[in-house]
Structure 1
Amino acid sequence: MQVTFHGAAQTVTGSMHLVEVNGQRLLLDCGLYQGPRAETYARNLHFPFDPATIDAVILSHAHIDHAGNLPNLVKQGFHGAIWATPATRDLSVAMLQDSGHIQESDVEFLNKRRARQGEPPVEPLYTRADALASLKYFMTADYERPTQVLPGVTFTFFDAGHILGSAMVQLDCQEAERSTRLVFSGDIGRKGLAILRDPTLLPAADYVIMESTYGDRLHETPVEAQDHLASIIKQTFRRRGKVIVPAFAVGRTQELVYALYELTEEAEIPNLPVYIDSPLATNITEVFRLHPECYDAETRQLLDQAEGRGGPFGFKNLRYVRDVKDSKALNFLRESAIIISASGMAETGRILHHLRNSIGDASNTILFVGFQAENTLGRRLLDGVSPVRIFGEMHTVRAAIERIEGYSAHGDRHDLLAWVDHMDHARLRQVFLVHGEPESANALADGIRGLGITNVVAPTLHEHFDLA
């Protein structure tokens, strides 16, 4: 049995891990890498293997850095099954089509500028039609239902508590007389967050591939995050400004809407209009309504109580924006408002237009509520870079830049250590740390070794391991 780390190796995007067992090839995730534009396009376009040789894919969840390159995989020859939970499959229907549409739109915008400069046009990585073509390969399996994916290989999904439908993947492999259990954590969620259940604690594995995004830091508590959010909104309201929030359409947007509903109901913030300017987030919220089996008991109770009154996903001040003309109209708002728009790292989509129109006004606030990878616009803004380039033009940053980590859907250092510490130390042979920048992965590795689990490594890109 071998594993090769073709993505999310000492970085937080592009999750893609190749497992080879019994002469078969299984891919764990197939995500888009995000980084410098030229490198991003080339790396996402060219797979380090022939897609036609992959027998199956198991998808941990629907975020684009885990699922976003599936249309390209199919386009280049993959024709096996893509296994996911029912909620992940439903989210992927919306997310992959949206990803194809965004790439087409961004390339169209870019090519207009390239034409003015006498440069040749570029092609999108894949189109919406390519995304649609990939959906027919999806197969679903419920949590805690062992499923044979290939001869000698059975997988089981367990709730990861990260986003709707997110899963940890337990692979039980039989090679001749030898049995091996490999656990892929996917992205591990947090205990006590709104909407979703807490992540599952698994008892035992021989090998673990686990995320390390926040392996070097602790989050605010949910209560602290709520107070921080209310404070930022009130300060911006006093300046007569707008709060612009780049947020992932899946998970983060719904958690923010839930928080704003609670703050509004409790009169903790001014009575401001809230705009969800993302057709994808609007569609995703409808998917949330379809999967109450993923909710925690508190959320199910709240939805029952709020039935007929709009509830947390349809309260009075909330507006979902689908049409482009309505999105453009938000640029002419003169009153204070809260605008939530994708993408979460401010790399693509409608959020770029809002940033371009708002970032130069000191009355406004740009609020980040999720991890910002290196070489993204979001990271540059958090690092205090000014001016910044948006759509090829430089913009001076005058808006306030704020950050709240308490809404992160990723577990922090304490959560990650508790998750791996729950496993049988005597059985655990090796831990591979992925989906984290070197500082966080190395810090988490030290913490895991402190638990008495000594064989811990953060693989480099394309590094290969034989699991003896």
Structure 2
Amino acid sequence: MNITFHGAAQTVTGSKHLIKLDSGTQILLDCGMFQGHGKDTAKLNEDFGFNASEIDFLILSHAHIDHSGLIPKLVASGFKGQILATPATYDLCKILLEDSANIQESDAKYLNKKREKQGKQPIEPLYTKKDALLALTFFKKIKYETIHQVTNGVKLIFKDAGHIIGSASVHLDITENEKTTKISFSGDVGRFKDLILKEPATFRQADYILIESTYGSSLHEDAIAAEDKILEIIRDTCINRKGKVIIPAFSVGRTQELLYSLNSLELKGKLPDVKYFVDSPLSGKATLVVKAHPWNFNEKVQEVLKVDEDPFDFKGLRYVEDVEESMALNDDHSPMVIISASGMAEAGRVKHHIKNNINDPNNTILMVGYAEPSSLAGRLLNGVNPVHIFGEEYMVNAQIKFLQSLSAHGDQADLLRFLACQDKSLIKKMFLVHGEIKTQEIFKEKLMSEGYHDIEIPTRHQSFEL
């Protein structure tokens, strides 16, 4: 058999790894969208690097768009196999893929207006809402810790990855020619001291491991300390300077962690009395899905649930649904906190909030997760000034803050702890995926110093015999 890395290879987004068996069966691990690559993004998402109609099974680690976002395009391109995912991942995909389709159609409509004026032919959206709804019919839900016979000679088990609700590490036992090969794919590994979720689960010995490396070169601050830093930033911005805190946050995972932290501050009587908005209809729907899967919560959250039936709600919190109400927030100059998608500030309402508030030195733009360097969030974090937003130039006068401790990705210590259940001498090869090349090179050196060996950093479309 062989494996080819078609995405998240020396970059963080676009997760797609294709296993081809000697029998001809093809198993795709994730089908994610590339994000935050500027003008190159559309081109990257057009080319799978494989024939969609030849894929027999798609095994999905979790619902984040950089892992699931090209599933509708896969189906529209001829895929007719099964999509295997956890129940919570399916529930999240129901809202995330439809939302992504709406964005594709909206972007195409906007661009076609410009193209018409330029006398150019119209373009088609990457996929449509119809494609997204059709894709959902291909899903088969598999619970954690359940051995599932994918096909003859292929067994699958999902283990809790602790990254977002429903996230899983993927473990395949593939028997060919009377020999069993054990492949493990980490998906995205969560924190071992996550605010909300259980820690990543241990897994059986593997021959080959695909391990994410987003923060393989760094260590996070304690997630518990994030609560105090959020409080400090709100007090300084909203109370002392009478400004706004704008927080680009992914709808799944980060938004819920922020709400949980703010709710915790209210329970302690510390939450400042200002306005709080979640300006993302998708985030509201995602929070409902998270609430519907409480068995994924860790023991601390289980204890909170005994005294607070909703740990993601607090006095003064409002969800903004319609566009008019979102736009009205820009005319309201009172102190407030706005949590809005997307996390990289590349699309959605948060991009408008940043545009309208970036000139005011009394405001703070708070980043709480990973951002591709070329994305708007990445450029702000890297000190680019001025920045271009919607084709216009804006001076960055607002304060730019970064709270890495809320990241849903494990840091170097978490990744090493995730791998600690393995006998290093029995691992035939490790592949570092889902990371920037400089980070991966540092992580590779660390792994080798810990006794791991034969570690590859694949490039896009690179194949290896297993």
* d(CA) in 1 for partners of 2:104, 2:354: 19
Deviation at 1:144, TM superposition (A): 0.5
Partners of 1:415 and 1:37 in 2: CA distance: 30
**Partner residue in 2 for 1:272:** 274
Distance in structure 2 (CA, Å) of the matches to 1:71 and 1:314: 33
Please list, as runs of the form range in 1=range in 2, the aligned pairs for 1:399-414 lying within 5 A after superposition. 399-414=398-413
Indicate the SS of the match to 1:397: coil
Q: Secondary structure at the match of 1:306?
A: coil
**1:235-275 per-position Cα deviation (integer Å, ceiling 9, x unaligned):** 11111111001100000000000001111222334112211
Aligned partners of 1:222, 1:195: CA distance in 2, in Å? 10
SS at 1:154's partner residue? strand
Q: Matched residues in 2 for 1:297 and 1:358: separation?
A: 39
* CA displacement at 1:327 relative to structure 2: 1.2
Mapped pair 1:182 → 2:183: yes
Alignment partner, residue 302 of structure 1: 304
Q: Is the 8 A contact 1:421 1:451 kept in 2?
A: no
d(CA) in 1 for partners of 2:120, 2:350? 26
**Is residue 248 of structure 2 the alignment partner of residue 249 of structure 1?**
no
Give me the whole-angstrom Cα distance separating, in 2, the residues matched to 1:316 and 1:129: 39
**TM-score under structure 1 normalisation?**
0.96
1:11 aligns with 11
Q: Distance in 1 between matches of 2:130 and 2:38?
A: 23
Measured against aligned partners, the alpha-carbon deviations of 1:166-197 in whole angstroms (never above 9, x if no partner) come to 00000000001110100000000001212210
Question: What SS does structure 1 have at the residue aligned with 2:425?
Answer: coil
The superposition leaves residues 311-354 of structure 1 with CA deviations (integer Å, 9 ceiling, x where unpaired) of 22222211111111111111111111110111101111111111
**Two-structure CA RMSD over aligned residues (Å):** 1.4
Taking the TM superposition and a 5 Å limit, the aligned residue runs for 1:114-125 are: 114-115=115-116, 120-125=121-126
8 A contact 2:211–2:431 mirrored in 1 = yes
CA contact (8 A) 2:82 2:140 kept: yes
1:220 maps to which residue? 221
Query: Conserved in 1, the CA contact under 8 Å of 2:36 and 2:346?
Result: no
- Determine the structure 2 residue equivalent to 1:208: 209
Superposed displacement of residue 422, structure 1? 2.5
Among all aligned residue pairs of Structure 1 and Structure 2, give the percentage whose two residues are the same amino acid: 48
- Matched with 2:396 is 397
Superposed counterparts of 1:133-212, under 5 Å: 133-212=134-213
Aligned counterparts of 1:80 and 1:125: Cα–Cα separation in 2: 20
Find the counterpart in structure 1 of residue 33 from structure 2.
32
Distance 1:440 1:287 in 2: 33
| Deviations, residues 361-389 of structure 1 (Å, cap 9, x unaligned) | 11111100000113111111111112212
Aligned to 1:365: 364
2:262/2:314 contact within 8 Å kept: no
CA distance in 2, matches of 1:85, 1:68: 16
**Residues 383, 274 of structure 1: CA spacing in aligned structure 2 closer, same or farther, 3 A cutoff?**
same
Q: For 2:251 and 2:229, locate their aligned partners in 1 and report how far apart those are by CA, in whole Å.
A: 21
- Residue 437 (structure 1) aligns with: 436
Check 1:115–1:336 CA distance in 2 against 1; reply closer, same or farther (3 A cut).
Answer: farther
Aligned to 1:328: 327
SS, match of residue 426 in structure 2 = coil
- Note closer, same or farther for the CA distance 1:109–1:239 as it changes in structure 2 (3 Å cut): farther
Aligned residue for 1:285?
A: 287
Deviates more, 1:106-115 or 1:132-141: 106-115
The verdict on how the C-alpha distance between 1:223 and 1:35 changes in structure 2, with shifts beyond 3 A counting, is closer
Q: Which residue of 1 aligns with 2:20?
A: 20
1:29/1:58 contact within 8 Å kept? yes
Q: What's the secondary structure of 2:92's corresponding residue?
A: helix
Q: Distance in 2 between matches of 1:244 and 1:127?
A: 30
8 Å CA contact 1:12–1:435 kept in 2: the answer is: yes
Q: Does the Cα contact within 8 Å between 1:147 and 1:154 map onto a contact in 2? A: yes
Alignment pair present for 1:263 and 2:262: no
Runs of 5+ consecutive residues of structure 2 not aligned to the other structure: none
Letter in 2 for 1:105: S
Deviations 1:60-80 (A, max 9, x none): 000000000000000000011
Letter in 1 for 2:308: A
